[in-house]
Structure 1
Amino acid sequence: MAMSFPVGLADFFRDVAIDSMTFELPDAVELLTLGSGEVLTAEHGSRLWRGSVTLATRRHAVLEDIMARLRVLQRPGASFLVSPRHHERVGAGAATLNTIRNGRELRLSGLAAGVSVPRGAYLSFTYGSSPTRYALHQLAEAMVADSAGLTGWGEVVPPLKAGTTTGTAVQLAAPVLKAVLVPKSVRAGQLRSVLGEGATFDWIQTLR
């Protein structure tokens, strides 16, 4: 059966044998130095998560299984879900986006009393339609749920996108984003007598 997009975690990103990876959020800032010595900064565009993956050394048949899927994902319009595989699972699987303010802060509800969501934790949710958009954010400060399951305010990076609404289900245990392959980044690596090694690819988040 032909692959449907975005390809789910179990069908690609969680299934492939990864040796090492990066998971980054580059800035989107322009810098201007004035004659007076003053330095001005301004945002340009959206901050998007991106990363590089090096596949583990595997027998040829296993590596080609992965490469075949990568070659499908090189098509225009193809996309797949990515998770921060290195993150520690929070002691709660899901919550609700209760309140937002300033485009940078939020409160969660629906958690068990006393549950702590640490600084550095990731969370994700979907918003919009045609297409459905996937948001992934990282907490810049810890939050703890009160007796009613409502947390205090916590700032997230990157800022919340237009179209984010309260009442949305939030995933804490298995946060995801939607990504596409960076063009010309797929490399098959070295094929030795029995094993293949050094295969790599780069990905970048897409909000469409």
Structure 2
Amino acid sequence: MIAWASELVVSAGLIGVFLLMVAENLFPPIPSEAIMPLAGFAAARGQLPIGGVIAAGISGSLFGNAFWYEVARAFGAARMHRLAAGFGRHVGLTSDRLLRAEAALRRNGPAAVCLARMMPGLRTMISVPAGLVALPRRVFYSFTALGTGVWTGGLAWAGYALEDRFHLVEDWAGPVGIGMMLMVALVIGWRVWRAR
């Protein structure tokens, strides 16, 4: 997969970076931890402009996340509540839990969307609850762009700076993302414990 992504990045250029980042956010076949450092590496070699690489990465991520957000927004919280009422008890998803999750997302939505963009697994998933609670589009897209810009820009610059050693980015990007997830889990756990 990585060899194929590398070939696509070089042969398709910025369009390839854009399409790979769209794909990563629709049905994650290749993580951004591989795509963006490869694109940064190509930029360091003079094959692509670094600014274009970052812009293509952010645009692709926005496009992929927009799909899930808009689908979830069209589905709506009312339908989700009906599903929870009918089938939720089988998976532990009650209407009360949904209401609490919605309230938390409305209260912390911008920060949640922004931080999730830097975490493996959550990058795409946060778009669905944000759409279900109809987080305002302006908020969703601006904080998605901010979080994505920090993450993809950082990965592209790391690939650019490391050149031939760009594979080292994968070695630290995964643990950094997991570390951020653990930190968020600890904060949530602390809040739950404090609330009880």
Point out the structure with max Rg over C-alpha.
1
Which is helix-richer, 1 or 2? 2
Say yes or no: TM over 0.5: no
**Highest RCO, 1 vs 2 (Cα 8 Å, sep ≥ 6):** 2
Which is strand-richer, 1 or 2? 1
What is the TM-score of this pair, normalised by structure 2? 0.29
